[in-house]
Each structure stands twice: as structure tokens, then as C-alpha cells.
Chain A
Amino acid sequence: MVPRINSMNTVTKANTVTSKNTVTTEKEAFAGSPTIQTATPTEISQEQFALEILNLDSWYGDFQALHGVTIKIPRNQVTAFIGPSGCGKSTLLRWCNRMNDTIAIARASGTLRMGDTDLLSKSIDVVDLRRRVGIVFQKANPFPKSIFDNVAFGPRLHMKANRSELADLVEWSLRKAALWDEVKDRLNKPALGLSGGQQQRLCIARAIAVGPEVLLMDEPCSALDPASTLAIEDLMDELRTQYTIVIVTHNMQQASRCSDKTAFFFEGKVVEYGPTDRIFTNPENKQTEDYVSGRFG
């Protein structure tokens, strides 16, 4: 019971911030970020980290996918995980809301904290965790239902909202996902009739509708055309003010365009983690430099 009450408080707090930020202009939101970026990790109080990952190891059966990963993911920023295929970045992302629980042979040790909650503990309520940490997958996966029902899916599970409240929530989420104007006249049409990019934005709206604090995105644009990719990137830019976003991407331009911080993964280890500007312009590590300059990977 205790973690649940705790989580509710956090949600409320997060949303108070949210509503304030909704009316702030983009300029103000941007004004906030550089101060954090320039600060060194020690100067940031613990409250500002959405997720703290300390010395995390992970295995699939006998294969060790992550080796002692340590990353502190700051609140209300976009953090990008980059690296070649199979380097463990998706694995880490999937631990953050325990999607790895669906894989029988996956296990992890180390620390993965969200505030005071230990995300790896056996006793943690994964259902509650997944309300707080939403996820968007590589391939858009709308349910074979109407657009409205897709967005209302999460709220119907978790909230006691009535019809009009649901309708408000759906509209708000679709507006947030910059999809409202395109679909407001066909909310009852099947979601599978939307284009690939629209489907992916619908999935983002669906994730937002439950009011998460953190939004995980697992290569959300890898199956999309450039125009849809641009739309999603614009969207992330808007959402960063209210959500902590973690994005896994293969696309280095994308990481450099939309993220505040970047972690470079290689063979299950974090090679380098720091402000995106520095990783891309002045990496400390040779491997990072080779990767971001396109010499391998």
C-alpha cells in the first residue's frame, strides 16, 4: 500500500508542474534547460533526477546484456541512448518500466531507482510502475479499436473517469501528441486506418493519457518516413517541458537534434554519458568519437 500512496503523491506533484508548464511558452522552457546542462551532476539535487541507474547488470539467460551501467536521468529533459545494435540500450530502457518481465530468462541486479522506489525489487507493483513510466515502441502498435478507444484504453483501466472526463482526457492527449486536428472528426474510426506517423503519435497520446512522469521511447521513428519523423521530433520538443523523456535511437542526427543528454552504449557498457552538445562535438572517448562521426556502428 505504501508505494501506491507515495506514487499518487508524485503523480499529483508532477501534474501540478505539468499544468504550469502547459501555459509556459517554448522559449521559457528552453531557457530552463541550459542551466541544468551546464551544471555538473554533483550540483543537482536528487529531486531533479527522474531515474537513477547505479551499477546495473542484466542478463538474458547466460548472456550478459548490461555491464555495470550507471546513468542518472534528469527530470523534464530528453535523454538519448545511442549505440550500435545489440549494445544493450533497449534492454536498459525496458528495465525502466519492467517490460523485461515478459521475457522469462531476463534478470538484472544493481540499482534502478525512481525517487525512493526501487524499480528492480520483487515486491514492486509493475502495473503501478507502468502507469508512471509510459513506453512507446519501435513499431507503432495501436490496438485494433477506434482512435478514441485507443487513447481511452489506459484511463479506462486506471481511472474512475466518466464519459465526459474521458472525452476531455482523449482530446487533451491527442492535442499534446499534435494529432487532434487530424483526427478530431474521425475519433470513432479504426486506428489502423491512420498513416504510420499518425499511428506512432497516437501511441504517444495513448501513453500520455494515463499521466506518466517518464516517457520511454524505443526507436520511435525507425519505421517512419522523414516527414513523420520530423513531426515526432517536434512533439518531443514540446513534451520535454512536462515529461522526462528517454529515447533510444540509432539515428545520431536525431539524438543530437532532440536530446539534452546523451549516453553512448557499446557492448553492454556506457562508454560515455554527458550533455548532448559535448558528446557530439567534443567526446572524451575515442570510441564515442568514432561512433558519432560515423566511423563504425
Chain B
Amino acid sequence: MNTPESTADLNDRVRSILAADRRSLRGVRIREIGVYAVLVLCGVFSLLITIAIVGVLLTETLNFFRSDEVTLSNFLGSGQWTPLLGSTKSFGIWALISGTMLVTVIAMAIALPLGLITAVYLSEYAPRKVRAVLKPVLEVLAGVPTVVYGFFALVTITPFLQWLHGGFNVFNATSGGIAVGILCLPTVCSLAEDALQAVPSSLRDGAYGLGGTRFDATVKVILPAALSGIISAFLLAIARAIGETMIVAIACGSRPQVTGDPRDEIQTMTGFMVQMAGGDVSNFGIEYYSMYAVAFTLFMITLSLTMIGNVVRRRYREAYE
């Protein structure tokens, strides 16, 4: 097959091809450096975004505090948020933070237990057929735009709540909170499921090997082992709920007040920003700058939650790899 006669020509040709001039390495090298420079620029761009966010929020927040009408003690110490009331302006961020907290607590009361149990079910119990239905359902729930949840909260959940109990306002914290909870459920579920899946199967086998039931294995072995991952999932979900905007803007109303009553109208930090953007407030007034102060507060809260969440998650990944 590989006789000298049949391949002699080919050999000659190939010899000359191999002996011919090769491509200049200099061009390759220059292109390599150029490409690398472009890639580094793109990579640095993401850092620039963070620097820009912090820079913009910080300078405009400082502008806000430089105004005579605002004091830091009023901002951090008061529960009165009335930036639009001409004579009696008060900028007490607690009114907005309390609204955000109320919505977040309601949302997490739904998303955390349901999400965790669904994750346990998906990871430990669910037959393949159920998984094949449940996974896409959760993906769809995660992919629905938040404005749709806002519509759902206002048009469907609120009337339902009012039917259950007459005391609910048209705009109330509960209906927004429930919708935010539904929105966060897939997040909790998929992150928690990742954490459960990361538990080595040897631990699982160990628990079953000692005669444990599935419940024993899950509750006593797998959940504790995945705890840091689950906590990180919870933290990321809380951050998401705090930053959620459209649902609360649509369903929770626009009255900033410190209240624990979930039937009442409230305003969250994000809701206030939407109100400012949607209205026609002059671009340079104190109330315009108050939007940056609120955004800065929101950014610091969510950033710290996300960072802690990511650190915890990295911790558990390292633990098993």
C-alpha cells in the first residue's frame, strides 16, 4: 500500500512544501499582542462600570448632603420621607428601608421555604419525569419579566387578598411581597439545588448505608453539609428581593411610612426611584439628588449581601473540590 513507487512523487512534493518559507512569526506575534490588548480593554471595562457606579452615586449623594435642607442625622435617623412636600421636606430613609424590609420579609417567607423544599425535592426525591416538568416550569417563572409579576400582583393577587380580608388597601405590601417571593423562588431553588448537588455522593451513600431513610439522609446529612451553599442562596435571593423594582412600584403604592402592617400602602427604595423617574421633577432640585442618595443606600445594601453570598458560595465550592 505504501510502496515507494506510488508515493515517490508525493514525497517530493511534500518535501518542497515542508521546506518552503513558513509564515512570518512576526505578524502572528503582533496580532497576538493586539488581540490581547483588546481583550484586556474589554475586561477592564467591567471594572470601569463598578468604578462609575460608585463614583456617580458617591458624588451625587455628597451633593445631596451638601444641601441646607438635608442633614445626615435626618437622613439616617428619621422615619419621615417627604421630599416633595415643599415646606416640610424631610429625608428620613427609614421610611423607605422599612417598606423595603416589609416587602422582603413577606417575599422571603414564601421564597425561602418553598424554594428550599423544591430544591430538596428536585435533588433527592423527584423522579425523572417530574424533574422534566418542574425544571422548565421554574425556568419559565425565572424568565417572566418583572413587570408581568407587577401586573399579576395588582390585578390578581390584590383582589384575592381583599376577598380574603377586607382590610387590604388597593396598594399593599403583601401583594407585592408575594409576587416578589414568586420571582425569587426559582433563584433560591436553583442555587440551593446546586449546593445540594455539590454534596459528595459518598456522604449520601454513607447515610443510606447506616440504614437512614431518605428523610434522615436529607435532613441530617445532606442539608447540614450543604448549609453554606444554602445560606449563600438565601443571601443572593434577599439581595434580589431588595433590589426588585417594578413589582413594588406597581403593586405597593407610593406612601413612604414606617409600618409593620402588611395590608397598608408603603414605598420601597426602588419604588421611590421609579416615582422620581416617572414624574417630572426638575433635574437639579434637592429631590432629584435624593434619588441618588437612595440609590447609594440600595447599592451598598445589595452589594454587601451579594459579596457575602459569593464568598460563602466560593467557600463551599472549595470545600468539595
- Cα–Cα, bound, A241→B13 (Å): 19
Determine if A175 and B23 form an interchain contact, defined as CB atoms under 8 angstroms apart. no
Looking at the complex, which of A52-60, A84-92, A158-166 is the stretch in contact with chain B? Answer: A158-166
Interface size class of A (residues with CB under 8 A): 20 to 34
Bound Cα distance A19, B14 (Å)? 9
B17, A22: Cβ atoms closer than 8 Å: no
Q: Is the CB of A15 within 8 A of B1?
A: no
- List the B residue with the shortest CB-CB distance to A14: B18
B155: shortest Cβ distance to chain A, in Å? 50
Chain A minimum-CB-distance residue to B1: A181
Stretch at the interface among B3-11, B85-93, B233-241, B303-311: B3-11
- Chain A residues near B68: list those with CB within 8 A: none
State whether the Cβ of B49 lies closer than 8 Å to any Cβ in chain A.
Answer: no
Residues of A within 8 A of B4 (CB): 22-23
Q: How many A-B residue pairs have CB under 8 A?
A: 62
Whether the pair A12, B25 counts as a contact (CB closer than 8 A) is no
B13 CB contact (under 8 Å) in A12, A22, A159, A165: A165
Q: Which residue of A lies closest to B18 (CB)?
A: A211
Q: A168-B13, A175-B2 are in contact. Are A12 and B7 (CB under 8 A)?
A: no
Task: Encode contact with B along A1-40: 1 for CB under 8 Å, 0 otherwise.
Answer: 0001000100110011011001100000000000000000
Which residues of chain A have C-beta atoms less than 8 A from B2's C-beta?
A: 175, 178
Cβ-based interface call for B128 (8 A): no
In the complex, which of the residues A11, A23, A128 contacts B18, with contact meaning CB atoms closer than 8 Å? A11
Contacts A22-B7, A23-B4; A172 near B14 (Cβ below 8 A):
yes
Indicate whether B44 reaches chain A with its CB closer than 8 angstroms: no
Cα separation A165 to B12 with both chains bound (whole Å): 12
Picked from B1, B7, B20, the residue with its CB within 8 Å of the CB of A159 is: B20
**Residue A157, interface by CB 8 Å:** yes
Q: In the complex, what residue of chain B is closest to A15 when comparing beta carbons?
A: B18
Asked whether, in the complex, the Cβ of A19 is within 8 Å of the Cβ of B17, the reply is: no
User: Smallest CB–CB gap between A277 and chain B, Å?
Assistant: 28
Quick one: which of B11, B20, B25 contacts A19, CB cutoff 8 A? B11
Does B165 have its Cβ within 8 Å of any Cβ on chain A? no
* B40: Cβ under 8 A from any A Cβ: no
- Of residues 10 through 34 on chain B, the ones whose CB sits less than 8 Å from some CB of chain A are 10-15, 17-23, 25, 28
Which positions in A face B, CB cutoff 8 Å? 4, 8, 11-12, 15-16, 18-19, 22-23, 125, 127-128, 131, 155, 157-161, 165, 168-169, 171-172, 175, 178, 180-181, 211
- Can you list 11 pairs linking A and B with CB atoms under 8 Å apart? A11-B19, A18-B15, A22-B4, A125-B25, A157-B23, A160-B23, A161-B20, A165-B13, A168-B14, A175-B7, A181-B1
A sample of 19 more A-B contacts (CB under 8 A), given A127-B28, A175-B7, is: A4-B25, A11-B19, A15-B18, A16-B15, A19-B12, A19-B15, A23-B11, A155-B17, A158-B22, A159-B17, A160-B21, A161-B17, A165-B13, A172-B7, A172-B13, A172-B14, A180-B1, A181-B1, A211-B18
Top 3 closest A-B pairs, CB basis? A211-B18, A172-B14, A19-B15
